[in-house]
Amino acid sequence: MIHLFNAFHSAHGGSEQETLQLYRLLSQQSSTRLWAASSKGCPTLIGENNARRTRPGPGYMPRGGTYIFVGTHWRGKLWPRLAAPPERLIYVYNTMLPNLLENTAKVPPGWPKPEYVMISDFQRRLLGVPAAIHPSPIHLDRFTPATIRPEGALRIGRMSRDTNDKHHPRDLTLYRELADEGIEWHLQGARCIAPYINHPSVHLTAAGTRDAADFLRSLDIFYYQTDTHVETFGRVVIEAMACALPVVCHRHGGYADWIEHGHNGLLFDNNDEAKALLKRLANDSNERLRLGLAARETVEQMYSENALNERLAFYLAPPRHKLLRQTG
């Protein structure tokens, strides 16, 4: 039995989507249950996915098996001290908060030491913690290239949670300058920056206003950088690549592990570089097409059947002590 734990705070969060996609994959090969590990979880999201809330009491605690915690942990809770210990404990560490490593290093009595999974080598290098690398799974059949281009001006856009740490203040100038040159910006999950920019060609909508795949397919170019939030993976960038969009992204992020500059995307270090790259792409439809096709091919390789089976085999493997008995 496999038990997947997540806070389930937001339907638009990368950690939540990672958990749900991992559940879809694992449940095809093993009995798998979803658990809502936070009292602040979204009731709608929890209900729609038939997740069970954790609390002390029969039926509200797992009863052994493999426990996989995705971006959440067990510290400070009573139920882990009452539940059956897992045979295997896996922590998918998909943030850049070092205190969470401290929270997961100490386990309840009888629990095994956690095995760590990180979602990019970028993250592992920054933290210096031994871990398996498994990119966050996405729904490749959902994020597909557009068949027709929307009419009108060229569209550059991005998508994220609607929080200030996801938006770099320097981008405001970039938005205005390119909008003045006739380019449209479509920013989903950007109502938080509405007080700082007012331009008829910069369109700001709340997170989840439009289906993520449909929104990405409405764009010509995907642009991304964040402020204080460090993307350990940046699944939205990978989803944009799956939609065969040319991506222009700041170099500091886990997604850059899979972007080869000039081949399947473009990376920049500062806003002058970003502006030059975006203007070049805006004036070269052939390069947009070439980069987008290469991006889609990259994502297809990341999530090929062989690649997925290799990652699932990690989660489905029996505990080490059982392997030792079998081989002994």
pLDDT(326) > 50? no
Helix (H, G, I), strand (E, B) or coil at 161: coil
Rounded Cα–Cα distance for residues 262 and 287 (Å): 9
Q: What is the pLDDT of residue 15?
A: 86
Region 167-186: mean pLDDT is: 96
Which residues neighbour 99 within 8 Å (Cβ) at sequence distance 6 or greater? none
Rounded Cα–Cα distance for residues 8 and 196 (Å): 30
Rounded Cα–Cα distance for residues 305 and 112 (Å): 31
Rounded Cα–Cα distance for residues 22 and 12 (Å): 16
CB-CB contact of 305 with 312 (8 Å): no
Three-class DSSP labels, 207-225: CCCCCHHHHHHCCCEEEEC
Per-residue confidence at 141, pLDDT binned at 50, 70, 90? very high
pLDDT(322) > 70? no
CB-CB contact of 78 with 14 (8 Å): no
pLDDT tens digits, 261-310? 999 999 999 999 999 999 999 999 999 999 999 999 999 999 999 998 98
Write the DSSP string, 246-304.
-EEEESSSGGGGG--BTTTBEEESSHHHHHHHHHHHHT-HHHHHHHHHHHHHHHHHHT-
Tokens representing residue 57 in the block: 């009491």
* CA–CA distances in Å: residue 173 to residues 165, 169, 196, 275, 325: 17, 8, 10, 10, 62
pLDDT tens digits, 197-211? 999 999 999 999 999
Q: Which residue type is seen at 171? A: D
The pTM assigned to this predicted structure is 0.84
Helix (H, G, I), strand (E, B) or coil at 307: helix
User: H helices within the chain, ranges in order?
Assistant: 14-26, 43-48, 79-82, 98-105, 121-127, 171-180, 212-217, 235-242, 271-282, 285-302, 305-316, 320-327
Task: Identify the helix (H) or strand (E) that includes residue 68.
Answer: strand 66-70
Rounded to the nearest integer, the mean pLDDT of the chain is 92
Rounded Cα–Cα distance for residues 37 and 7 (Å): 5
Q: Domains in the chain, ordered, with CATH? A: 2-137+304-327 (3.40.50), 155-302 (3.40.50.2000)
Q: What is the pLDDT of residue 166?
A: 95
pLDDT(253) > 80? yes
Q: What is the pLDDT of residue 321?
A: 53
Tokens representing residue 209 in the block: 């206003």
Q: What is the pLDDT of residue 274?
A: 97
